[in-house]
Structure 1
Amino acid sequence: MKINRKTIIVMLLTLVTGLLMGWLIFGGSSGQKMEEDHQHTNEIAGETIWTCSMHPQIRQNEPGDCPICGMDLIPLENDDNQELDPMAISMSPTAMQLASVSTAIVGTTAPVKSVRLNGKIQEDERLVFSQTSHIPGRIEQLKVNFTGEYVRKGQVIASLYSPELVTAQEELFEAQKIKATQPALYQSAREKLKNWKLSEAQIEEILEEGETKEQFPIVADVSGYVISKNVNLGDYIRKGEAIYEIADLSKVWVLFDVYESDLAWIKKGDKVNFTVASLPGQEFNGTISFLDPVIDPRTRVAKARVEATNKGNTLKPEMFASGVVQAALENKANTLIVPKSAVMWTGERSVVYVKTPSDNGMHFMMREVVLGPEMGEGFIIKQGLEPGEEIAVHGTFSIDAAAQLAGKPSMMNPEGGPAMTGHNHGGSEMPSTASPVKPKTVQSFTIDQKAKKSLRPLYTTYLDFKNALVADQLVEAKQYGGQLATAIEKVDMALFTGAAHNAWMEHSRTLKKALEHLPHFKSMEEIRGAFQQVSEGMINLTRSFTPFDTPLYIQHCPMANNNKGADWLSINAEIKNPYFGEAMLTCGEITDTIK
């Protein structure tokens, strides 16, 4: 069979076309697959690893909570980048966003703080008068019979019978008869009546009538409201004895309570705008005219006095008032102020994290600062920062956790070094190396069931107090602390006899001392400090009397009390930390059980 040349060319073209299509389909697909595999490998190599600042053995491929302590996981940063300072901690923009880290520029401003004050309306002490009788005698009539009644100057408010005044009138009549020969005796008789505050007109009226008056009127010396009635009809009063207390309420005082923490901001001459609950919609203003030089040892407050004009008698004594002072510190025109959220406070030290951007990302460097007075939502910085520097204002705990993990200077470890993971945060994976506070030696006593029952309300309220701190509830914690003080007062001390009585008195005194200033505290740190002392007292009380049939657990956090450690009582073995709340909820361990 003869094949022509044209047919051979067509067959060759068909073969070449088939080979080309096969290469495009299979060879290109293989190359693409290899490229995709290579890209996927790179993605795995660059995947973010998440870890816990307190338990660095935790490694996860996605964010979440630590399975041991429940804290938020943070990105594990590699240290391939060259940092500006070997002690700085680097964070990528993604890590900052996930950790909710935000920054702000430090600036200067005039420190002005809105100080809120509470107080009461009181009478102006300079306008309170005692209405006295200048004549001794018996009250025959009372023209003003109740407190609150208004009297005018010169108004007759009472009348009395005075044997001494009757005798003095008779002496005047006798002296008048020998006036021509004994003028000095006559004048002496008139002066005797004047000493009893009788006017010339009254004396002349007595002489004209020529008869002895048995009742004499008592007139008001001032105008005002009767705030106290001291006598009743028929009472015998001495010369100079007060019949009424009369107050002129045309001007009043507003006495505001100033807490110790606010005294640095309040001074004489400050303007105060205040309102009264019973007069909604009305606003008053005044000036602080006097500031107590001594603090009340019982309430721990000083009184700031504002004088107010009382038009229409709208301001009534004992009304509650709420005031605001826009206070400024003297000689502090340009002052550095930072938000409270930017400062990490350990009791003895205060630190912030300063941001230093570079070509390799963002870096944060811990810096110790010296705090000045608190002002609302911020602190004055006395030393440690300069205007224009950028600091972290949110997410500072996340930055500090990353610093601890990297072994760099942090709030709890200012010198740097290995991450602080030596104590238990609620799991059993890591043994504790912290030593709890050595318990005080307490003598135990045997008490009857009535005495034990009387103590149990203390524990109910104490546990509510603890749970409020666990939940970071400031108002509820103060409320339960106040209820605990009340519960201590209600314990019947007669149920404790002999040495047990002395022990109870000692324990109750300690607990009352710990709760003494709780109503005036404004921060969780202050309340938790009081709770620590209360817990020590409750633990000692429990060791003395063991009022529960079920066991009570003594739990311990080594990081509380400025890393000195602190204890608390719990009826459950589960750790719920009242000293740090949600920040480190399960940080702690059981150190003892009271059965």
Structure 2
Amino acid sequence: MNKRLIIAVFLALLLGLGIGYWFAAEKFQPKVETTPVPRKPLYYRSPMDPAVTSPVPRKDSMGMDYVPVYADQEQAAETAPGTVRIDPVTEQNIGVRTAVAGKETLSHVVRAVGRVAYDEERLVRLHPKTEGWIETLRIDKTGEWVKKNEDLLSIYSPQLVASQQEYILALNNLKALEKSPIEDIRRGAEELVKSSRERLKLLDVPAHQLRDLTRTHEIKKTLHIHTPAAGIVMNIGVREGQYVTPATELYMIANLSTVWVYADIYEYELPWVQVGDRVEMRLAGIPGRVFEGHLAYIYPYAEPKTRTIKVRLTFDNPELLLKPDMFAEVTIFAGRKVDAVTIPAQAVIRSGARNQVFVVRAPGKFEPRTVTLGLASNGKVAVLEGLEAGEKVVTSAQFLLDSESKLREVTTKMREPDEPADLSSKPLPLPTPQNSGNTDGEAEPNRHEGHRHD
């Protein structure tokens, strides 16, 4: 009896000590306040169209803020129209490949066929200033090099003879009246000499013949015509004894130390090129030589038949190797560069009305997104809106994903409001070459037809 009492007292003592220790720990334990960790949204969705998303906060056309989508809402966001989920096996079977959108600088090289032509600023077409007859033709062969102010031909013109006579009369009149006490008479005689001399200059009388006429007072039957610039005689329009008028072209002289090259570029290449771009040129007639020049002008119209834009290139030609009407291969190194988010060009689905890509939201989950494209070069295209650097886009099998996306979107719109979204809640296998089924439209026979119960 005493032994049982001792055991009961011992158990009661242990129970009391335990209860006391629990109260003491509960009373003196410090209270720690926890600060809730802010959630980071995965992306933002348009409040009016759930299919429109953005990686950054923004407003729609009505000024409404995009709704953030968090990780715990991913399952709910997955039911948005157009979102596609496929299992890993199907993803491998249809050959889904992805690429990361990166920020880089795009450049472009334009290649075209050019035609060498004259430098129009160094082209001279010589015409007489009066009617007359060609007496002597000193330069009578095309292709000859002439220096500036070189004597080309002699012309007899009655008007030139009459102008010489007027000049000599004015000189004699000035000599007779230079000592006149009346100032107006002296001034009138000087003005007459000056005007007669200017008339001869305007008729292209050379300076040496004008000096001889002033000194000797001897009228010349023929007067010389000199070249106003150095160059190569490309065309001779007259022969000795021929009657000429101001409409007759005597010579065409071209300075080929600089040549122009015309090339045609396509419309999609026009945004890249600009005046001053460096150009290289190669010709079949001058193998092994690379000529360097620059783009001098872009013509402000397009060719109606070829839908191309003509550009003018300038090249130095000190050795006279470049000859007009030669064909050449030109390479324009576009100086314009674009720093933007770029993706492979094959990732874009171009439907005509819009450009779309499929963005990888999670393993096996692909979201269609409309993007605004910029310039394209070397298999890359710049994305102006709709995509951020670092996001993954689908580069192959995206047309199968697009078909599945449209099917899911239509199914979602046709579903009743209270009907569960089973089509988006679980991945569905896409049709693959391995399980595409029969193509004749007949149903596959039931393998267990013999065990079917009526």
> TM bucket by the smaller chain?
0.5 to 0.7
Distance in structure 1 (CA, Å) of the matches to 2:271 and 2:405:
36
Displacement of 1:222: 0.9
Equivalent pair of 2:112/2:263 in contact (CA under 8 Å): yes
Write out aligned runs for 1:90-239 (5 A): 90-169=85-164, 180-181=175-176, 184=189, 187=193, 193-199=200-206, 201-205=208-212, 212-239=219-246
Q: Offset of 1:299 from its aligned partner?
A: 4.5
After superposition, the C-alpha distances for 1:113-147 in whole angstroms (9 at most, x for unaligned) are: 22334432222221112223345310123333344
* Aligned position for 1:308: 315
Which residue identity lines up with residue 363 of structure 1 in the other structure? K
User: Paired residue for 1:22?
Assistant: none
| Cα shift at 1:194 | 4.2
Give me the TM-score of the superposition, normalised by structure 2: 0.62
Distance 2:159 2:265 in 1: 53
Q: 2:383 aligns with which of 381, 384, 388?
A: 381
Higher gyration radius (CA): 2
Q: Which amino acid aligns with 2:408?
A: K
Q: Is the 8 A contact 1:133 1:239 kept in 2?
A: yes
Distance 1:415 1:303, change over 3 A: farther
Partner amino acid, structure 2, of 1:353: F
SS at 1:311 equivalent? coil
Residue 398 of structure 2 corresponds to 396
CA distance in 2, matches of 1:236, 1:429: 91
The answer to whether the aligner puts 1:283 opposite 2:261 as a matched pair is no
Note the 1:64-103 alignment, pairs <5 A.
Answer: 85-86=78-79, 88-103=83-98
- Aligned equivalents of 1:140 and 1:155: distance in 2? 17
How far, CA to CA, are the matches of 1:261 and 1:173 in structure 2?
68
SS of 2:287 mapped into structure 1: coil
Of residues 216-225 and 166-175 in structure 1, the stretch that sits farther from structure 2 once superposed is: 166-175
Q: How does 1:353-368 map to 2 (within 5 A)?
A: 353-358=358-363, 362-368=364-370
Deviation string, structure 1 residues 548-575 (Cα, Å, up to 9, x no partner): xxxxxxxxxxxxxxxxxxxxxxxxxxxx
Instruction: Kindly indicate which of the two structures has a greater share of residues assigned to helix.
Output: 1
| Amino acid in structure 2 at the alignment position of 1:238 | T
Provide, for residues 296-338 of structure 1, a one-character-per-residue CA deviation record: whole Å limited to 9, x for no partner.
45543333333221121122222333333343656x43x1112
Provide closer, same or farther for how the CA distance between residues 284 and 409 of structure 1 changes in structure 2, counting only shifts above 3 A. Answer: farther
Taking a change above 3 Å as real, the CA distance of residues 190 and 378 of structure 1, as seen in their structure-2 partners, is closer
C-alpha spacing 1:279/1:295, structure 2 compared with 1 (3 Å): same
TM-score, structure 1 normalization: 0.48
Q: Residue type of the partner of 2:135?
A: E
Structure 1 residue 389: Cα displacement? 1.4
Give the aligned length. 335
- Sequence identity, in percent? 29
C-alpha separation in 2, matches of 1:379 and 1:124: 38
For the 8 Å contact 2:204–2:225, the answer to whether it is kept is no
Q: CA contact under 8 A between 1:83 and 1:90: conserved in structure 2?
A: no
Q: What letter corresponds to residue 372 of structure 2 in structure 1?
A: V
Of structures 1 and 2, the one with the larger relative CO (CA 8 A, separation 6+) is 2
Q: Deviations over 1:343-376 (max 9, x none)?
A: 1111002222223444xxx333322222223334
Would you say the 8 A contact 2:205–2:223 is kept in 1? no
State the Cα deviation string for residues 391-425 of structure 1 (Å, max 9, x = none): 22123234345556xx3259xx9979999x9xxxx
Cα distance in structure 2, aligned partners of 1:339 and 1:246: 53
Q: Structure 1: any 5+ residue segments left out of the alignment?
A: 1-81, 422-426, 431-595
Whether the 8 Å contact between 2:128 and 2:250 is mirrored in structure 1 is yes
